[in-house]
Structure 1
Amino acid sequence: MPVPRLRFAVSLLAATAFACVPSASARAAERRAIAVAAAPLDRAIAVLAEQAGVDIGSAEPGLARVRTRGVQGRLTPAAALDRLLAGTPYTAQRVDAASFRIVRRPVARAVRHIAPSPPPPPEGPPPEIVVTATKRETSRLRFPGALTILRSGATRLSGADPASTMDQAIAASPILQGTALGTGRNKLFIRGVADSSFTGPTQSTAAVYFGEVPVAYNGPDPGLNLYDMQQVEVLEGPQGTLYGAGAIGGIVRLVPQPVDLSAVAATVSAGASATQDGDPGGDLAGMVNLPLLDGALGLRAVGYHVAEGGYINDVRRGLRDVNRTTTTGGRLDLRAAPAHGWTIDAGLVAQSIAAPDLQYAERSMRGLSRASVLAQPFDQRYLLGRVVVDKRWDDGLHLVSATGLVRRDAASRFDASRQAAVPPVPLAYDTDERSRLFSHETRLSRSGANGAGWLVGVALIRARDAYARQYGRPDRLRDIVGVTNRTRDVALFGEAGVALSPALTITVGGRLTHQRTDGDPIASLRTTNYIRGRSTTRLDPTLGASWLLAPRLAAYARYQSAFRTGGITVAQGVGRVADLLPDTIRVAEIGLRRDRHGPIGLAGSIGLSLTDWRHVQADLVDRLGFPYTANLGTTRFRGLEGNLDWVPLSGLRFATAVFLNDTRVPVGSGPSRRPGDSVPNTPRVAASGSVGYDWTLGTDSSAGIDAGWRYVGRSTVGTQAPLDVSQGDYGVAHLGASWTRDRIRLTATIDNLFDGKGDRFAGGNPFGLAMRSEYTPLRPRTIRLGGTVAW
């Protein structure tokens, strides 16, 4: 027997050793709670076999190349398997009362004088897409709020591409925005909830999660690589009820590929890239999945190294392509299934980022160039450990207990030289950030039909963030005042969805939080003396509704609030600190969502949101370039978003999305702000569109092509001089092609197809912002050739 067939025949024997049921026939006849996410068909069948308590085997070699949409509901094993295989070249044959075999569907042959046969029975509704970020597995159609799911195969977020980063996620959805200071120090924004363009000690407005645990508490997005990622889920905010402080704009949840307990698998991926008038780049990554004890214990290891070629020249120092960035990291996950319904996942994520210089240029200079006295490097070391205990009962009850530990150390330098002097006086401004985070959450939930169900949970967070600063000549740096904050957060949260009728479901919930933050102005990272404190106890409610207007069309409405913690922060002027107030946000939204009926058809959504944001916290810089943090006041804005996903025929897909934002800042809402000022770094208009086509070349090969375009409207880096500098207002296109044969996949992509010259971010070095000449250009036209081999 060939190795692929032997591997799959062994791997898909179901995990029935832990099922406690009276007989095989009873097992096959009873309905069970089934929730199988979209995945390659071999993995999806293995998960279904475990959940249904039956044996499913196959000797077919091509199952890993077919992607299924998943299946959800209370179903018999036979019905669940039929839904899972709908639209695929395979069908299920019953072997006995509790065993099935997957075989290729027979090919119909033309014969003469065939009597007319009755039409086949209508196909049942396709399985619903399940959103796991809601913490109780709600179907996407019935979720009462705005959300976006970026999945491999539907977007450019390919799990086989080592170059996949959060920049690809931002490009795929206009609802996401971000700064462009550099990987590991960018800020993410969701639906226009943007506080400022600079990183500092405040919490981000968008919380990023790796599976069930947060990746950070304060500071920027650490920039984790998305290689071997199953999907990215974006829940638009606020998400105070489910995720607590720091989720005022929403959450981004990275969902990694899980450990497969029944199949040996491995991939090796590599790519080479060339940037016009820039440095070449390259990437190398690999994954291995090993069952250590069939059906009970396994591990999955991922490693990657990505080098992005530079394209910025420094004319003063006579250097070319100074902004090269290198990312090296990996993940190790261990999964155990000690008993029926139980899984225990333990994982480690490690990643380092090294950038020898910043990626901004100066408008007054020819080409993509600038003049700096000093190099401005960045270095980050990131480590995340997690343990997740999961228990599913046959009646739908679901227990999750997740614990995470995060350690992040980052160092930056900015050129603060007095360039007007002759010769220039070299001065450096250095920051040293050290963050430690412990998080724990335990919750119990039950999912029902039509969006009904409930959950209750408790969460604990302990965070310590130190932000130290030095200033002066590079060889004689002196400490200046920084800040250390220590936060303890305890919360009790719950949510319930009640189906008043099959069409109407009401969701109510709330989160009771007690939080204390103690801070200390420091000039080193060794402080243990906390001299100030602030305690906050608050209730953040949520109220939502989902109304099924047609079998695949639903309306939704939602109200929710959230907050970010306050504490000691660096104030305007060297050597000063301030006590930051918590900021609060309230959002009301309504919308319509349509899911596709079958593999062909139209899906999409449209939504309107109203936001009220008070005591806005923002990391800013003064006219001399020194960063500080302040409360800016109140802002209110409206947002309109929509997306369409149309599959007119098999293999052909059109997609488009748009986000419109209207901001009005009341008089007196912050220092030097005027009525009509916009929230920084959020364009009034953002849009994207793409078209793709996949076709089969033979029994074991296929090809595909895709093209896309996105537009980022005008915004400003800040709301007051000298930060009211325009950025954005550009369009950028990409083109890609792929060829797959058996387990080999080759790809070719061209980013910035027409070599556009747009400004991604009108900043870089805070000490040069007063000159109003800095900008971060689009990466010039870049061609990447890549390949993946899977076993």
Structure 2
Amino acid sequence: MLIHPPSSRFQFKAPCLRLAVAIACGGMHLLAGAQSSAPSSAAPPIEPASAPKTIESVSVTAQRRREPAREVPLTADVLKGEDMERGGYQSLSDLAALLPGMNHNQSGGGTGGSQITMRGISTGSQVGATVGMYVDDVPFGSSSAYAGGGSSSLDLGLFDLASVESLRGPQGTLYGAGAMGGLIKYVAVEPDPSYFSAQATAETSSTKGGKSGHVLRGMLNVPLSEGVAALRATLYQRSESGFVRDVNHGGRLVDGSKTDGARVALLLTPSKDVTLRLTALSQKQRRDGASTEDVDIATGRPVDGALTKRLLLSEPSEVRNDLVSAALKVDLKWATLDSITGWQRTSSLGRVDSSALYSPLLAPTGIVNAAYGMDYTFNNRKVTQEVRLTSPRSRQFEWLAGMFYTNESGSKTQNLRPFNAFQQPESPVLADARFPSTFRETAIFGTGTYYLTPEADITLGVRRSRNSQHLDQRFSGIFAPAPQPASQSSEGVTTWLLTGRWRPAERQAVYVRAASGYRPGGPLPLVINPLDGTALNNSSFKSDSLWSYEVGWKGDIVPGRLTTEVALYQIDWKDMQVFTSSAGFSGIGNAGRARSRGIEWTVRAAPTDSLRLATALSAIDAKLVDDSRDLGGKAGERLPNTARLSLALQADYDFRLGGNPAYLGATLRYTGDRWNSFKEAPGIPAYRMPAYTAIDLRGGVQIGKANIGLFVRNLTNRRGQTAADTTLSTAGGPARVNLIAPRTIGLQFSMDFS
């Protein structure tokens, strides 16, 4: 958004009020940050090469009960924890790269500030999350547009996880608000009361153009009472040197990062019918700056050379995530009772060098400084409670019923101030905006599955949700507007699910699925006319919603050797939440409609006991249906940050080396071209990110209880562009383009102490 400065300080009030409202609603897109591509910790123990390696049947909890993935009537990807560690994958960006059709766009100035989208459900600069994030059964992240909900996808360290489940398409009935494009669930390894185990892991790596990095991890599983109680703890640290250099400051690296995390879980099983799991996790991510390169928006070439940018101010950021949860499971015989309680705290803070935007904007008014920085914070505290009853397995009728409650207290602050040539803040503060907010939601939900025959069934599900929100406004600084009143909103939303499933043969299923999802609406910062006291803008924006229609087939072609899944879908999206303007003031509003059609196809094969192959393909045609002035898009124009075609190929071979089990593996990832925004997006010029292909290699050997691994990421050193922020380009500045890491080579070592 460009603000045209008037000729006097008094006249600055109205534009600065627009600026403050834009800040509250997220209308000022800050920048696109780093996308990590470094490999992870050492591989788990390697199985003997002589063991049969047929395709393993995996289970998911997509429908809130554990069942084989091939039985679930939707696209459900399961990445096992041991496979991710063996493959050297450790971050959210790695997950997105492995799952075609998923896009990871890091924003907000650093690690942890990110957007995940699936199946093309994106408008570029997101008002709120369209993919739900869960840790076990606890929803993580803000549901509100005012506490970083649009850029707070949980980037949890992929250490000591049983699996990561990815569910495609809307999951609004069972998982609630925000899961309209899909859902990602981190599933931790549970404590085991039957045996003692421990593992220590160390890794060192080097990135072309950067310096060395490392990973350190320790895991301990301790039975407290055999068969009754156990404790499991994981501690980890990941450090990366970065690979982007600042031309203005001697070519120093400015995108290094460090992540520290810990997870502790206590499992109690006082009887065969009662289980209680208590979990606490904490993770802190710090980054010197974003892994972005200054690029000429017209030519797509680096302004000052590859892997460089110019900064007048450093751009540090920090993200902290804490979660405490209690999961109680009781077998009542006639049903299973689950009670899941969660408390979480999320904080994100950082600085963006906004000099390229504000220097030319303010200079004509006589305000001249060496640099301008935007300091920002997002904070959210959230309490959730879910209780549900699940019927026993049956081939006649199965049901599930539950209640959900969440209470969130969030805040968003942004502080615009001048800095001197020594990067020290100067007075006075130009604008300081603070927006405390609350979000409360209650919901009831249920599903019922009726078996028409042993081979065919139908499922109907419904969820009724109601939320209430409150937003306050506090301004200070020389451009601060007059005090404005608080605003509030409330709404009720119903989501639906209908599936039909038919099993024509053993280990095969055909399904059809219709499902809906939504994002909550919310209040808007009120702007009052000082002359007559009337509101100059809308007091709230509506929820947006979509319907997805999907048909798919899953099954074995050659049992245990060749299996495939294919799904065709169409998603109709209406009342899209977008950044907009009303009566000259920026805010959030609702646009028209969009449509996404696509195909997802996965093939897995084990042609021999030692060789495993897998391929996954996603083709997406996501377009606007209606013209949108607020988005700057025309009907038929592609939705941003979505590749028409993406593909992943993987091969793993197990063998023996000197009598010891060993492995070799390779992964090829292709991502098609994307646009960062619409062609006439206000304040965000369109930039095309070209297609790219990356190749990863891995290998390892197990010697006794020690595992040694070697990896190469981005073997051919491709310059893959993953996201682009063109906000500064409105004032003639470069595009800030996020890149995958250059070629990275590393060595892993782990030791088991079981």
The two structures have a TM-score, normalised by structure 1, of: 0.78
In structure 2, the partner of 1:388 is 327
Please give the residue correspondences for 1:1-80 in structure 2 after superposition, counting only pairs within 5 Å: none
Q: CA deviation at 1:519?
A: 1.7
Q: CA deviation at 1:761?
A: 1.1
Check whether the contact 2:618–2:647 (CA below 8 A) recurs between aligned residues: yes
Q: CA deviation at 1:159?
A: 7.5
Please give the residue correspondences for 1:592-741 in structure 2 after superposition, counting only pairs within 5 Å: 592-595=553-556, 600-618=560-578, 629-671=588-630, 672-697=632-657, 701-719=660-678, 720-721=680-681, 722-741=684-703
Check whether the contact 2:262–2:282 (CA below 8 A) recurs between aligned residues: yes
Separation in 1 of the partners of 2:547 and 2:409?
27
In structure 1, the partner of 2:522 is 567
In structure 2, the partner of 1:337 is 269
**Paired letter, 2:167:** L
- The answer on 1:158 being equivalent to 2:85 is yes
In structure 2, the partner of 1:191 is 119
**Paired letter, 1:147:** A
Separation in 2 of the partners of 1:570 and 1:450?
53
In structure 2, the partner of 1:92 is none
What does the per-residue CA deviation read over 1:751-782, in whole Å, with 9 as the maximum and x for residues that have no partner? 10000112111128757786453212221100
- The answer on 1:553 being equivalent to 2:508 is yes
Please give the residue correspondences for 1:436-475 in structure 2 after superposition, counting only pairs within 5 Å: 436-448=381-393, 453-473=398-418, 474-475=425-426
**Paired letter, 1:674:** K
In structure 2, the partner of 1:212 is 137
Separation in 1 of the partners of 2:384 and 2:309?
43
In structure 2, the partner of 1:427 is 372
Separation in 1 of the partners of 2:654 and 2:334?
38
Separation in 2 of the partners of 1:742 and 1:556?
46
1:770/1:514 CA distance change after superposition, 3 Å: farther
- The answer on 1:367 being equivalent to 2:306 is yes
> Residue 587 of structure 1 is aligned with which of 541, 548, 553?
548
Separation in 2 of the partners of 1:133 and 1:657?
20
In structure 2, the partner of 1:746 is 708
**Paired letter, 1:592:** W
What does the per-residue CA deviation read over 1:431-490, in whole Å, with 9 as the maximum and x for residues that have no partner? 111111111101111353679632111110111221111112133334433433311111
What does the per-residue CA deviation read over 1:605-638, in whole Å, with 9 as the maximum and x for residues that have no partner? 111111111121246999xxx9964433321121
Q: CA deviation at 1:267?
A: 0.6
Q: CA deviation at 1:659?
A: 0.8
Structure 1 counterpart SS, 2:635:
coil
Unaligned runs of 5+ in 1: 1-62, 68-85, 90-124
What does the per-residue CA deviation read over 1:352-394, in whole Å, with 9 as the maximum and x for residues that have no partner? 111111211112221211111111111122211101001235x
In structure 2, the partner of 1:292 is 224
**Paired letter, 2:672:** G
- The answer on 1:229 being equivalent to 2:164 is no
**Paired letter, 1:555:** V
Separation in 1 of the partners of 2:649 and 2:517?
32
The higher radius of gyration belongs to 1
> Residue 338 of structure 2 is aligned with which of 390, 393, 400?
400
The two structures have a TM-score, normalised by structure 2, of: 0.82
1:447/1:732 CA distance change after superposition, 3 Å: farther
Q: CA deviation at 1:568?
A: 3.1
Question: After alignment, is 752-761 or 314-323 more displaced?
Answer: 314-323
Q: How many residues align?
A: 660
> Residue 169 of structure 1 is aligned with which of 95, 104, 107?
95
1:301/1:576 CA distance change after superposition, 3 Å: farther
In structure 2, the partner of 1:544 is 499
Structure 1 counterpart SS, 2:453:
coil
Check whether the contact 1:716–1:724 (CA below 8 A) recurs between aligned residues: yes
Structure 2 counterpart SS, 1:316:
helix
Separation in 1 of the partners of 2:537 and 2:86?
46
User: What is the RMSD of the two structures over their aligned residues, measured on CA atoms?
Assistant: 3.1
1:484/1:639 CA distance change after superposition, 3 Å: farther
Q: CA deviation at 1:203?
A: 3.0
Separation in 1 of the partners of 2:552 and 2:589?
34
1:405/1:425 CA distance change after superposition, 3 Å: same
**Paired letter, 1:217:** S
Separation in 2 of the partners of 1:241 and 1:129?
23
What does the per-residue CA deviation read over 1:149-169, in whole Å, with 9 as the maximum and x for residues that have no partner? 11135x4x12796x6111221
> Residue 197 of structure 2 is aligned with which of 250, 261, 265?
265
In structure 1, the partner of 2:480 is none
> Residue 410 of structure 1 is aligned with which of 325, 339, 348?
348
1:660/1:788 CA distance change after superposition, 3 Å: same
**Paired letter, 2:304:** M
Question: After alignment, is 759-768 or 359-368 more displaced?
Answer: 759-768
Question: After alignment, is 262-271 or 663-672 more displaced?
Answer: 663-672
Identity among equivalent positions (%) equals 26
Structure 2 counterpart SS, 1:158:
helix
Structure 1 counterpart SS, 2:93:
helix
**Paired letter, 2:652:** G
Separation in 2 of the partners of 1:655 and 1:431?
43
What does the per-residue CA deviation read over 1:163-201, in whole Å, with 9 as the maximum and x for residues that have no partner? 611122112110321103342001111222223246xxx
Q: CA deviation at 1:292?
A: 1.2
1:88/1:733 CA distance change after superposition, 3 Å: closer
In structure 2, the partner of 1:306 is 238
Check whether the contact 1:468–1:522 (CA below 8 A) recurs between aligned residues: no
Unaligned runs of 5+ in 2: 1-43, 144-148, 296-302, 419-424, 477-482, 528-535
1:411/1:542 CA distance change after superposition, 3 Å: same
- The answer on 1:328 being equivalent to 2:260 is yes
1:267/1:774 CA distance change after superposition, 3 Å: same
Check whether the contact 1:607–1:642 (CA below 8 A) recurs between aligned residues: yes
What does the per-residue CA deviation read over 1:41-82, in whole Å, with 9 as the maximum and x for residues that have no partner? xxxxxxxxxxxxxxxxxxxxxx98659xxxxxxxxxxxxxxx
1:126/1:305 CA distance change after superposition, 3 Å: closer
Separation in 2 of the partners of 1:712 and 1:733?
12
- The answer on 1:494 being equivalent to 2:446 is yes
1:344/1:478 CA distance change after superposition, 3 Å: farther
Q: CA deviation at 1:396?
A: 7.6
**Paired letter, 1:763:** D
In structure 1, the partner of 2:62 is 133
Q: CA deviation at 1:579?
A: 2.6
1:257/1:371 CA distance change after superposition, 3 Å: same
Structure 2 counterpart SS, 1:171:
helix
Check whether the contact 1:170–1:177 (CA below 8 A) recurs between aligned residues: yes
In structure 2, the partner of 1:57 is none
1:552/1:431 CA distance change after superposition, 3 Å: same
Separation in 1 of the partners of 2:80 and 2:586?
38
Separation in 1 of the partners of 2:538 and 2:721?
33
Check whether the contact 2:728–2:735 (CA below 8 A) recurs between aligned residues: no
1:280/1:697 CA distance change after superposition, 3 Å: closer
> Residue 188 of structure 2 is aligned with which of 256, 266, 279?
256
Structure 1 counterpart SS, 2:174:
helix
Structure 2 counterpart SS, 1:498:
strand
Structure 2 counterpart SS, 1:385:
strand
